[in-house]
A and B are shown apart, each in its own frame.
Chain A
Amino acid sequence: MRKSQRRRLSAVLRYVVLSLWTLVAFFPIYWMVSTSFKPDTQWFSWPPVYFPDPPTLSNYLNVWFGAEEYTTTQYSISSQKPFISLGNSTVIASISTFLAVLFGSVIAYGVSRYRILSEVRMFQLLMLRMIPPIVVVAPLSLYYSAIGLLDTMTGLIMIYFITSLPYAVWMMKSFIDEVPREIEQAAEILGASRWRTVFEIVLPLVRSGLVATFLFILILTWSEYLLALIITKTQVSTLPIELSKYQGSTEGRVYGRQAALAVGITIPLMIAGLIIRKHLARGFSFGMVRR
């Protein structure tokens, strides 16, 4: 009797704590989304307006489609073209991620089966990710400008590829490690080359792992800011840069517009994250978590 009471109490307590954190975790996101639907008088007011009244799509129309007739008292303009940035972001993030996953899974296969990188090297590979980008960004931009990669998608793709490779290798290794070797050995005896084995047998077996790794790295490249800030100019722009430009390009606080852009930037990421939510731990755990 006492025990069941205690159990119920602890269950209630758990719900209370979890719900509290739900509020904390959700409120900023709610605020961003609700602000994006607010008319301009409610963005920055005292007392704050918690629910858009009435909800309006004008922020979205203005930011994404440049519909100027929707502006009233606050004026904001920008010659930014978010759809072009959206396109750039999509191309840059998906190509660099694709390359990192492709290359990363081959390396991961080599490490998993033939130890082509020792454990020390595997950890050293992590340094590519762990050194803060700020320390290389100045010479990188000069080097890029010398070889003509500044303000190009290729330049950003290359650097994103390099920095996301470690995660790709580690994550794919954890998936490949789980594939039994017998199948490959059978293929090898039948005379298949290692490359064929990788692409035709192993990778199809870890399909879900590939998807998870892909989306995981996509999340990282999609939101990268510092490198993009330095490397992009006119020809290329990614969405986070687009948003930060929007910040200053007004004569007043245009929170609603910013929020409308921010929502557009965040949604793809959240979708990606929710699809692979079960696998997120693998990306970060470097084989430290067994299942």
Chain B
Amino acid sequence: MTKFNVSRRTFMEGGVGFTVANLLPGTTPLAFAATMEERTIAAAKTVGAADVSGMIWSPYLVPMQPVIADFKKATGIGVGAVQDISIFDTPQRAMAEALSRSPQFDFIHIDSNMIPSLASAGYLEPLDEYMKKADFKIDAVGDYAKFMTYKGQTYGIPTDGNVHIQYVRKDLIEDPDNKKRYADKHGKELKFPETWEDEFRIQQTLMDPAKDLYGSGSLRNRANGPTWWYMMFYSAGGFTFDDDMNATLNTPAGQYAVDIYLQEKKVAHPESAGWGTPQMIPRIAQGHVVTAQYWDGTARLNENPAKSKTTGKWLYGLVPGSDFSGKRIHRSISSPLAALLVNKYSPRKAQAAYLALWLGSGKNSIPIVSDPVNTFNDAWAKEHMTSELVQKAYSPAGIKAIEANFQVVSPPTYLTGYLEFQDTLGKNLSEAYVGQLPAKDVLKKTDEEWNAIVRRIGRTKLKEELASYKALMPKRNVPA
């Protein structure tokens, strides 16, 4: 396997680089090492060997293991005990760690949207110093590296882009009968959807519940629902707060997003209200949905014939946008954006930090993001986009879609209290989706609850954070 060869060579060169550096004390020796990977190894060697422990979900960890093994050989820094829990559960567990200021975990692998909360709680070690020592740069596509920063400091190293892309069943929308049916019904050509309205029409026309084929494979459960809603909301020109930190969900843009979000009920599987990734991914890969916005890693699953019945049957592209604001805006989303964060209270934080840098270099992460079996770490670095291995895993069309969506990628509420904001919204959306709450009340209620959260956490504090959040919003409305 090539990835071993690459890494082993890196390790050898790293060793050489370090030897040279040792001969020249007093200077900034590490800069002499040739590549970023070698510099990372050299810097890591200065802090000593250790097995770091952390919180990480095994589908993410397993493809990292060979890369970690190389680092261990080169520096003695490896991974010891880990708490293996789902990426959707880590935010809660990490907060629990933060408030007891526990030194137990050295790193946590977590949704980077938790950075403001965890940094405010004093749990996170800024990584800028380590990055400087190794002359390390997060070489991400577009402005993606900014997602790791909060109030001007870098707190995380991404391992998983997790950007949403649009999935459309090629065989279905290119089918002549379907094309005719669609044209007759809507007076338009059946093609890749550009707006939410288009997508819904396609879903409605092509779905066939009798054959267990449903229109949509997007998630609508309580935990994940907000991720989809944000795409609709942002693309309608909405933003979550005004400059004075008053919640501004209950606006025409918000209501529009709620309506789009809820109409999906007509085209989704009747049990979609309770389904998360474990239920939905097989549905997509086994060919039971027409279209979906989904995390990009699912493309790798779809293109793996051993695991999918739909290999070669997909079109990938930009997520739908909206003309609601008067101009066409597309907004994709990255949530959970899995990243490695380092615990400030850990005695092995330096080791954990360098391990994170090692895993987060473009070159080292190629085998991680292209693993065709463990498809949880998704491409994010510039280097990934041109790598043959990665292209093969996602299909060239998949990679193109990822690049396009990265240009309009946005975060969910990137503020302290993320968990609370997210779950309140999720709860209200979910209540509306199952009919417990009228659609018109969703945002009114959410605004009230969000304003209460703002009051509790402190308006002044959150106002200071608003700039970090806004900096993450994309500059473009449509990808170049």
Q: Is the CB of B376 within 8 A of A251?
A: yes
Point out the residues of chain A lying under 8 angstroms from B376, CB to CB.
251
A233–B306 Cα distance when bound, in Å, is 35
Interfacial chain A residues near B85, Cβ < 8 Å: 245, 248-249
Chain A residues closer than 8 Å to B462, beta-carbon distance: none
Contact of B104 among A233, A253, A254 (CB under 8 A): A233
- Docked-complex contact B278 and A234, CB < 8 angstroms: no
Whether A77 lies near B282 (C-beta < 8 A) is: no
Min distance, Cβ B168 to any Cβ of chain A, angstroms: 21
Q: From known contacts A248-B89, A251-B301, A251-B375, infer whether A235 and B81 are also in contact, taking CB-CB under 8 Å.
A: yes
Roughly how many angstroms separate A44 CA and B288 CA in the complex, as a whole number?
Answer: 14
Whether A78 sits at the interface, judged by CB under 8 Å, is yes
Quote the shortest CB–CB distance from A71 to chain B (angstroms).
Answer: 9
Known interface pairs A77-B62, A251-B59, A251-B375; 12 further A-B residue pairs with C-beta atoms within 8 A, sorted by A's residue number:
A73-B306, A74-B307, A150-B100, A230-B96, A234-B81, A248-B89, A248-B278, A249-B59, A250-B59, A250-B278, A251-B282, A253-B282
Task: List, in ascending order, chain B residues with CB within 8 A of A233's CB.
Answer: 83, 93, 104
A positions within 8 Å CB-CB of B: 44, 46, 72-75, 77-80, 141-142, 145-146, 150-151, 230, 233-235, 245, 247-254
Please name 30 pairs of A and B residues whose Cβ atoms are closer than 8 Å in the assembled complex, sorted by A: A72-B306, A74-B282, A74-B307, A75-B307, A77-B58, A79-B82, A79-B84, A80-B84, A141-B96, A142-B100, A150-B102, A233-B93, A234-B82, A234-B83, A234-B104, A235-B81, A245-B84, A245-B86, A248-B85, A248-B86, A248-B278, A249-B85, A249-B86, A250-B278, A251-B277, A251-B278, A252-B278, A252-B282, A253-B279, A254-B278
- A78 & B84 in contact (Cβ 8 Å cutoff): yes
Q: How far is the CA of A249 from the CA of B89 in the complex (A)?
A: 11
Contacts of B81 in A (CB 8 A): 234-235
Are A249 and B281 closer than 8 Å at their CB atoms? no
Taken residue by residue from 254 to 292, chain B's Cβ proximity to chain A (1 for < 8 Å, 0 otherwise) reads as 000000000000000000000001110110000000000
Tell whether, in the assembled complex, residue B83 and residue A249 are in contact, meaning their CB atoms are under 8 Å apart: no
Given A245-B84, A251-B277; A75-B373 close (CB under 8 Å): yes
A residues less than 8 Å from B4 (CB atoms) = none
CB <8 Å contact, B374 and A77: yes
The 8 Å CB contact of B58, one of A145, A146, A151, A249, is A249
In the complex, B57 has a CB within 8 A of chain A: yes
Binary per-residue interface labels of chain B (38-80) against chain A in the complex, 1 for a CB within 8 Å, 0 otherwise? 0000000000000001000111011000000000000000000
CB of A149 to closest CB in B, whole Å? 12
Among A77, A234, A248, the residue within 8 A (CB) of B88 is A248
Identify the closest chain A residue to B101 (Cβ). A145
Closest residue of chain B to A80 (Cβ to Cβ) is B84
The minimal Cβ–Cβ distance linking B369 to chain A, given in whole angstroms, is 15
Closest residue on chain A to residue B102 by CB atoms: A145
Q: How far does the alpha carbon of A251 sit from the alpha carbon of B212 in the complex, in Å?
A: 20
Please, which residues of chain B bring their CB within 8 A of the CB of A253? Answer: 278-279, 282
Which residues of chain B have a CB within 8 Å of any CB of chain A?
53, 57-59, 61-62, 81-86, 88-89, 93, 96, 99-100, 102, 104-105, 212, 277-279, 281-282, 301, 306-307, 373-376
A240 to nearest B CB, angstroms?
14
**A250–B61 Cα gap in the complex (Å)?**
13
A250 to B281, CA, bound (A): 10
CB contact between B100 and one of A44, A75, A141, A249 (< 8 Å): that residue = A141
Residues in A whose Cβ lies below 8 Å from that of B84? 78-80, 245, 249
Contacts of B301 in A (CB 8 A): 251
From residue B317, how far is it (CB to closest CB) to chain A in Å?
Answer: 22
Contacts of A151 in B (CB 8 A): 104
Residue of A nearest to B306 (CB): A73
| Alpha-carbon distance between A234 and B105 when the two chains are bound, in angstroms | 9
CB distance from B217 to the nearest CB of A (A): 13
B61 (CB) vs chain A CBs: closest residue: A79
A264 to B98, CA, bound (A): 35
Q: Which of chain B's residues have a CB closer than 8 A to the CB of A73?
A: 306-307
Which B residues touch A146, using CB under 8 A? 100
Hey, which chain B residues are within 8 Å of A252, CB to CB?
A: 278-279, 281-282
Q: Which residues of B contact A145 (CB under 8 A)?
A: 100, 102
Chain B residues with CB under 8 A of A78: 58, 84
Contacts of A234 in B (CB 8 A): 53, 81-83, 104-105
Chain A residues within 8 Å of B57, by CB: 248-249
Shortest Cβ distance from residue A79 to the other chain B in the assembled complex, whole angstroms: 4
Q: Of B58, B105, B306, which one neighbours A79 at CB under 8 angstroms?
A: B58
Among B96, B212, B278, point to the contact of A46 (Cβ < 8 A): B212
Question: B105 — which chain A residues lie within 8 A by C-beta?
Answer: 234
A245–B102 alpha-carbon span in the complex (Å): 22
Which chain A residues border B96 with CB–CB below 8 Å? 141, 230
Which residues from chain A contact B100 at a C-beta distance below 8 Å? 141-142, 145-146, 150
Q: Which residue of B lies closest to A246 (CB)?
A: B84
Most chain A Cβ neighbours within 10 Å, of B53, B58, B281: B58
Question: Measured between alpha carbons, how far is A145 from B345 in the docked complex, in Å?
Answer: 14
- Chain A residue at minimum C-beta to C-beta distance from B80: A234
Residue on B nearest A235 in the bound complex, by CB: B81
CA distance A249 to B85 in the complex (A): 7
For A247, what are the chain B residues with a Cβ–Cβ distance below 8 Å? 86, 278
How far is it, in angstroms, between the C-alpha of A151 and the C-alpha of B82 when the chains are bound?
13
Please report the C-alpha to C-alpha distance between residue A103 and residue B192 in the assembled complex, in whole angstroms: 71
Assembly CA distance A251 to B300 (angstroms): 12
* B59 vs chain A, min Cβ distance (A): 6
CB nearest to A146 among chain B residues: B100
Contacts of B102 in A (CB 8 A): 145, 150
User: Using Cβ atoms and an 8 Å threshold, which residues of chain A touch B306?
Assistant: 72-73
4 nearest A-B pairs in the assembled complex, by CB-CB distance: A248-B86, A145-B100, A252-B282, A79-B58
